[in-house]
């Protein structure tokens, strides 16, 4: 219940996270992953 309350009050915001340090990333779809696995077999 505390998690729920913190999320809606704004207390759970993570201001110290710097995701830009990793650069841009492309998402891999499940279809692409399975196709890649199938090609390796």
Task: State the residue for tokens 């995701």.
Answer: 19
Residue 29, pLDDT score: 96
Tens digit of pLDDT for each residue in 1-41?
A: 777 888 788 787 777 788 788 888 899 999 999 999 999 97
Ramachandran assignment for 9, one of left (phi > 0), alpha (psi -120 to 50 degrees), beta (any other): alpha
Residue 27, pLDDT score: 92
């Amino acid at each position: 219940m505390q998690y729920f309350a913190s999320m809606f009050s704004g207390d759970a915001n993570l201001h110290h996270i710097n995701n830009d340090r990793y650069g841009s990333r492309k998402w891999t779809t499940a279809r692409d992953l399975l196709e890649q696995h199938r090609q390796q077999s």
